[in-house]
Amino acid sequence: MARLTAGVASSHVPLMGVAHDQKKDRDDYFGPIFAGYDWTRQWEKEQKPDVVILVYNDHASAFDMKIIPTFAIGCGEHYKPADEGWGPRAVPDVIGHPDLAWHIAQSLVLDEFDMTIVNEMDVDHGLTVPLSMMFGDVAEWPVKVIPLAVNVVTYPPPTGNRCWALGEAIARAVASFPEDLNVQIWGTGGMSHQLQGPRAGLINRAWDNMFLDGLVGDSDHLRHIPHIEYLRETGSEGIEMVMWLIMRGALGKTTRCLHRHYHVPCSNTAIGHMVLEPQP
Ligand code: DHB
Ligand code: FE
């Protein structure tokens, strides 16, 4: 059977993609940011996951005000890096896993999560930056990827509680897939950041670290944080962190932290990264 072996959380700041692509990742500014991913790159080489369910948000690249799916799952064969205004990033195409993705889509819909099924879309920095952080400069991504897009751009995003429950349903879906696959789930975005308006540049280290603490162990209190608290404490884009709760919900009752990294600033943003293992 397929096995959900680990959860990975990471910010997806587009500037990290630029630094990676322009080989500035070890300079004075980016060195401490990228150093926090060295452990994970080595660990991923040893883990050799077959598939990553990559929870991310599209930033008006594949979806815009014409269509706003709350939860969308990519069931396609492959996805191209999106052109976000400067041409597509020169990173490999993302290869999907249609069999597992359709299985998860079916299992989720029968489990009463009404997913939007997407067979064709381009994927933006929300998805490709975490891949670069975890795998570096590669000719091909070493995993198949099932994109799972969440609307956190246009109000109303889903609640943290709904995200956590979706994670639990994803875990049931993976566990019922008959092929022997090593599957990871990643939650991306965050941490505290506000990109516009009078509070642009808002960063809240104490709140971010409370959130990181809360992902470890057996408490599920994070699922009950209301939207207004993300907005007040972490800025208008901090709501991206609800996507981490899909990852956390999928890992079950208790988790153990294998690696943790937090750094300020990256662009106008606090970045966080964590690797979690489900506990029996
Ligand atoms: C930044 C962060 C994001 O999560 C994003 O999607 C876009 C920009 C930033 O900090 O620059
Ligand atoms: Fe973002």
Two structure tokens written together for 250: 């999928």
- With a Cβ cut-off of 6 Å, ligand 1 is lined by 12-15, 59, 189, 193, 195, 237, 240, 267-269
Which ligand 1 atom minimizes the distance to the CA of 189? 4
E strands, 33-112, where? 51-56, 71-74, 78-81, 94-95
Q: Ligand 1: which of 57, 63, 195 to mutate, judged by most atoms within 8 Å of the beta carbon?
A: 195
Q: Which residue has the CA at smallest separation from atom 6 of ligand 1?
A: 13
Tens of pLDDT along 138-167? 999 999 999 999 999 999 999 999 999 999
Q: Do the bridges between strand 254-266 and strand 182-188 make them parallel or antiparallel, or are there none, so unpaired?
A: unpaired
Any residues with CB less than 8 A from the CB of 219 and at least 6 apart, and which? Answer: none
Q: Which residue has the CA at smallest separation from atom 8 of ligand 1?
A: 13
Question: Residue 190 C-alpha to ligand 1 middle, in angstroms?
Answer: 8
Confidence check: pLDDT of 253 > 90: yes
Percentage of the chain exceeding pLDDT 90:
100
Give the active site residues: 125, 193
Q: How many CB atoms lie within 10 A of CB 199?
A: 12
pTM of the prediction?
0.98
Phi, psi of 84 (to 5 degrees): -100, 20
Q: Which residue has the CA at smallest separation from atom 2 of ligand 1?
A: 13
CA distance 164 to 11: 18
Q: Ligand 1: which of 58, 133, 193 to mutate, judged by most atoms within 8 Å of the beta carbon?
A: 193
Which ligand 1 atom minimizes the distance to the CA of 57? 6
Tens of pLDDT along 1-41? 999 999 999 999 999 999 999 999 999 999 999 999 999 99
Tens of pLDDT along 201-226? 999 999 999 999 999 999 999 999 99
Angle between helix 125-135 and 14-21 (nearest 10): 50
With beta carbons less than 8 A apart as the criterion, state whether 56 and 127 touch: yes
Question: Residue 218 C-alpha to ligand 1 middle, in angstroms?
Answer: 30
Question: Residue 13 C-alpha to ligand 2 middle, in angstroms?
Answer: 6
What is the structure's pLDDT at 280? 87
Question: Residue 61 C-alpha to ligand 2 middle, in angstroms?
Answer: 12
Ordered by where they begin, the domains of the chain are 10-162 (3.40.830.10)
What is the structure's pLDDT at 162? 98
Question: Residue 188 C-alpha to ligand 2 middle, in angstroms?
Answer: 8
The CA–CA distances, whole Å, from 223 to 14, 62, 74, 206 equal: 27, 28, 25, 18
